[in-house]
Amino acid sequence: MQKANYIKERKAIADRIKELRIRSGYTSYEAFAVENGLPRKNYWRIEKGENFTINSLIRILKIHGITLEEFFKGIK
């Protein structure tokens, strides 16, 4: 079975994460990561759409106070 490449979907998720950060008043991904106890390099990778874990996504959503359902609403 051929390995699927989900670049488009990861990019949509990454864009939404970045949007949440900016809406929260953080112009810098580094400031957001440091203030919320996230490894800066790992958080940068998430915003770039590189592979990340569901645990990382859930942690970020908890920081923003939104559910998975709210997060994925409107993402295609």
How much is the pLDDT for 29? 97
Give the span between the Cα atoms of 42 and 34, in whole angstroms.
Answer: 11
The domains of the chain are located at 7-72
pLDDT digit string (tens) for 4-52? 778 889 999 999 999 999 999 999 999 999 999 999 999 999 999 998 8
Give the span between the Cα atoms of 37 and 42, in whole angstroms.
Answer: 11
2: pLDDT strictly greater than 60 = no
DSSP state of 3: P
Q: Tell me the CATH class for 7-72.
A: mainly alpha
- pTM equals 0.88
Q: 10-26 as b/e, with b when 16 or more CB fall inside 10 Å?
A: bebbbebbbebbeeeeb
